[in-house]
Amino acid sequence: MDKYQKIAAKIISTYETNLFAFREKYQYHWAARLYRITKSDRYLHPIYMDFQKRTLRWARKISHWKVLLPAGKIGRKMLDSFDPTTPKDKEKYELYKKRPEVLFFLKLNHYLFLTKVYGLDKLDGFNKYYLKAIRKLKNQNFEKILLDEKLIRANPSIVANNASYLSYLGITKLERQLAEVYKRIWLDFSPQSKSDWQNKVYALTHLIIPATHFYQRFVTRGQFNWILKYFEKNFDQIVENTNPDVIAEVGLCFKLCQHQESEVFEKARGIIAENFDAKRGYIPREDNPEGLEKAEHRNAIATLLLSDYQKFFPGPDLYEYMINGKRELFVPKKVEWFGIPEEDMV
C-alpha cells in the first residue's frame, strides 16, 4: 500500500466512523461514490433512504404534471424556497424565474437517471411514474434548453450532467453538441476571479465525470483530450486560483480517462496528499477546519483520486436490494410539506 492509498484509507476510516451523524444528503453522496469502487453492501441503506426521500417529492410532482399543472407552474413553486445568497445563485435565480420549467426539468432528469441506474424503472406499480415522465420528456426541446449560453454560463456543471442523463435515459443525445459549445465558451473565457476559475474548471470536469455515469465506468481519452490538454497547460494557475475540491476533480479526470501517465495526475495527487491533515484524519475546508460534514465532497473526490481500483461497480441495484430484503418504496398520493426547505429535499 503506497502513501496515497494509506491516506485514502485514513479518510475512509474517518468518514465511516462519523457518516451516520451527517445529514442524509452527505451520507448519500459519500455512500454512492464508495459503493462504486468497493461494491460494499454497507453503503446500500443510505443510498436507498436517499432515493425514498427523493421519491416522496418527485412521484407527487410527476403524478400532478399535466395540462392544468404544467412544468413551469411546478418550477415556480420550487423557486419559492430558492434562496440566492451569492452572485452566482442570483444569476441562476433570475434565469429560472424567467423560465421556471427549466429548473423543474433539470431536477427531474436527475431523479429519473437515478431511478434507472438503481433498476427501479422495472419495479411494478412504481414504474408508471417513471414511464409517464419519460414519455413527456421526449416531447421537450432539450436542445433549446441545454444549449442556451446564458444557462451554460450560469450553471455549467448541471447542464453537462443533464446532457448525460438524457442520453442515458434514451431521450436525446446532446453531449457532442454541448462539448462544442463548451469549447467555444470556456476555452476562450479568461477568469477574473477565483469564482470564475472554479466555474470554468467545473464546466470542463463535468463533461468527463457524467460521461462515466458518475463513476460507473472508465471512458476513453480521445473525445476529452482537449480538456486534458487544457488542464496540463494551465494546471499551475488552477492550483493557484482554486481549492482541493477542484484540484482533486482535475486529477480524477485523468484517472477516469485512463491517462495516469500524465504529470498532472501525479501533481494533483501530491497536492491533495499535502492537504491531508493526519491529526484530523481528513482534508479540512479552509473556512471551517473542524467541519467534517461540509468537507465531505473534497474528501470523497480525494478518495476516488488516491485509492487503487481497477474497475467501477455500476448501480447499486436497489430493485434486488428491495426484493431480497422485502423492503418497500413509499409513494404518497398526496403530501403537504411544512417547514422543509426545498434544498434539503433535492
d(CA 157, CA 113): 16
| Distance in Å from the first CA to the final CA of the chain | 38
Give the pLDDT mean for 103-124: 97
Q: Is 255 helix (H, G, I), strand (E, B) or coil?
A: helix
Inter-CA distances, 111 with 31, 99, 133, 248, 286, Å: 17, 20, 10, 26, 32
Least confident interval from 68-82, 127-141, 213-227: 68-82
Whole-prediction pTM: 0.94
Asked if pLDDT for residue 76 goes beyond 80, the answer is: yes
pLDDT band per the 50, 70, 90 thresholds, residue 343: very low
**Per-residue pLDDT tens for 182-214?**
999 999 899 999 999 999 999 999 999 999 999
Q: Where are the domains of the chain?
A: 65-174
- Report the percentage of the chain scoring pLDDT > 70: 96
Give the pLDDT mean for 144-169: 97
- Report the percentage of the chain scoring pLDDT > 90: 87
Asked if pLDDT for residue 167 goes beyond 60, the answer is: yes
Nearest C-alpha neighbor of 340 from the set 147, 1, 57, 98:
57
For residue 20, count other CB atoms closer than 10 A to its CB.
Answer: 10
For residue 308, count other CB atoms closer than 10 A to its CB.
Answer: 10
Give me Rg for the CA atoms of the chain: 20
Q: 128-142 as b/e, with b when 16 or more CB fall inside 10 Å?
A: ebbeebbeebeebeb
Per the prediction, the chain carries an average pLDDT of 94
pLDDT score recorded for residue 64:
86
Asked if pLDDT for residue 342 goes beyond 90, the answer is: no
Asked if pLDDT for residue 337 goes beyond 90, the answer is: no
Give the pLDDT mean for 63-80: 89
Cβ(25)–Cβ(50) under 8 Å?
Answer: yes
pLDDT score recorded for residue 214:
98
pLDDT score recorded for residue 69:
85
pLDDT band per the 50, 70, 90 thresholds, residue 1: confident
Give the pLDDT mean for 68-97: 90
Asked if pLDDT for residue 84 goes beyond 50, the answer is: yes
pLDDT score recorded for residue 338:
44
pLDDT score recorded for residue 339:
42
Least confident interval from 162-176, 207-221, 315-329: 315-329
